[in-house]
Structure 1
């Protein structure tokens, strides 16, 4: 993204912050006591070049950041959910497709069930035994999936969200996460998109209304700190 675009957005945000603050927006959810990391669509179709869904800043930003988050979760025993997206019926003329109507807007038919090379989670952040790999059909990781039930059964009250894209699947997951009653934390350095400016704008707007956008270092410190707190034993 060009420096000019970044500067223009920052100028717009400065004024927007004043307006939001004067109206009572930009409040903080804060971290809870039981986190789960939710990596949204960090699969090859989004993280590797040459695909319709390929996103920017994967190799030098998002993936290294998620690697650090995964390490923190794994050393502290925090649950991790990886989401990906693929479809069983990719014939756009078939009214029984599991793509619904979404293919009328974007080329989701390329992510077919018979192309695991595309929908597999990026090997650089490959899931380990015990981590959930959740297949979704729509933008939100919650829509039509077992995610909310899994989180509640695990006693989770806070979700740290990473992934792609800021303007779609990450944003929808954050909005639904808050609606489902979870503290939603977006890890600033670990969100990507295809379009210049989309990450900055959406993170600003999410932080004002739907979740807390926090730096990577703050999130890792939280994961380590809460991981050292002993769990209360039931009587």
Structure 2
């Protein structure tokens, strides 16, 4: 990494809805990304690297939400399914939260502004699901002038063929797809 590059870690939707068995968005393979995400977060913490927890939250049902035209009502503010999973609650001086209402952590949030203010040029993106929120976040990271890096072991989907296609597109058109070891090196 040159002196001009600065990296941040973005953890996308590490919430009960995806990671706690019994919720509609849970799938067994999601558990495979937990330890790689913990390793990335630990490396970021040890090296004073900004970690952003990008989590989906929606207002109560009394308010219309366009996303519900396509998906059932989900991730309402203060609901258990929208809460941070297990030990992924933000902690430490270098961690912050961005609330998102769509798939991308950048769309209609202040994430790009925040990262530019921190002089970040590269974002390592981990979480779920590769073909939906991870891809949308990577695409918008690229559109906002950041190099998106996806750590292969730290993301997956209940639609593996779509996850692989998304990783191929990210590598080809937007950023990089790296191994966990490479991701950890970028956070060193």
Q: Which runs of 5+ in 2 are unaligned?
A: none
Aligned to 2:100: 136
1:190 aligns with 2:142: no
Shift of 1:140: 0.6
- Which of 32, 45, 54 is matched with 2:26 structurally? 54
Measure the CA separation in 1 of the matches of 2:96 and 2:78: 21
Does 1:82 find its partner at 2:45?
no
Structure-to-structure mapping, 1:153-192, within 5 angstroms: 153-192=117-156
Shift of 1:56: 4.0
The structure that has the greater radius of gyration is 1
Which whole-Å CA distance do the structure 1 matches of 2:10 and 2:186 have between them? 15
Instruction: Name which of structure 1's ranges 69-78 and 130-139 shifts more when overlaid on structure 2.
Output: 130-139
1:35 equivalent in alignment to 2:7: yes
* From 58, 81, 103, the counterpart of 1:118: 81
Deviations 1:60-103 (A, max 9, x none): x2110000001110110000000111211325xxxx42x22x21
Aligned counterpart, 1:127: 90
CA RMSD for the aligned pairs?
1.7
TM-score of the pair, normalised by structure 2: 0.92
Deviation per CA, 1:38-57, whole angstroms, max 9, x where unpaired? Answer: 01111110112222222442
Query: Could you tell me which residue of structure 2 aligns to residue 44 of structure 1?
Result: 16
3-state SS of 1:88 partner: coil
Q: Which runs of 4+ in 1 moved over 4 A?
A: none
1: CA distance, partners of 2:30 / 2:89: 15
TM-score by length of 1: 0.74
> Is the 8 Å Cα contact of residues 30 and 157 (structure 2) preserved in structure 1?
no
Instruction: Say which SS state the counterpart of residue 187 (structure 1) adopts.
Output: strand
Stretches of structure 1 lacking an aligned partner (at least 5 in a row): 1-29, 225-235
Q: More strand by proportion, 1 or 2?
A: 2
- Count residues with an aligned counterpart: 185
Alpha-carbon distance in 1 for matches of 2:113, 2:28 = 32
